[in-house]
Amino acid sequence: MLTTKANFILEKGKAVWYDFYQVPNGSCWVVKYKESFYDIVDDGTGNGFYSSGEPVRISEEEAKERLSSNRKAWKEAQEKFGWETLDEYFEKVL
């Protein structure tokens, strides 16, 4: 179950899903809210007793690193965040 803060950021920000967490119900998101990036992990239980952690503020570079392993997520982030192509990103960092 998402915390109140995580749910707010996920609903109000520009969110990109990038991975499963404790398959099949959990999920991992990178969200841009205002000018900050957040990593949000939803445990998928929907149970308040097993509440997911608070959102973690990350840098844009950390967000790019997380999304670079999922081509579809990168494409979505490219459209939402105005990022370069994944190939251009790899050219810079490798």
Token match 């952690």: residue? 53
The confidence score (pLDDT) of residue 23 equals 67
Tell me the residue range of the domain where 70 lies. Answer: 4-93
CA angle, 17 then 31 then 22, to 5°: 40
The confidence score (pLDDT) of residue 53 equals 84
Longest pairwise C-alpha distance within the chain: 44
- Number of domains comprising the chain: 1
pLDDT 10s per residue in the chain (94 long)? 888 999 999 999 999 999 998 767 889 999 999 999 999 999 887 766 666 789 999 999 999 999 999 999 999 999 999 999 999 999 999 9
The CA-atom distances, in angstroms, between 39 and each of 5, 88, 91, 92 are: 12, 23, 24, 23
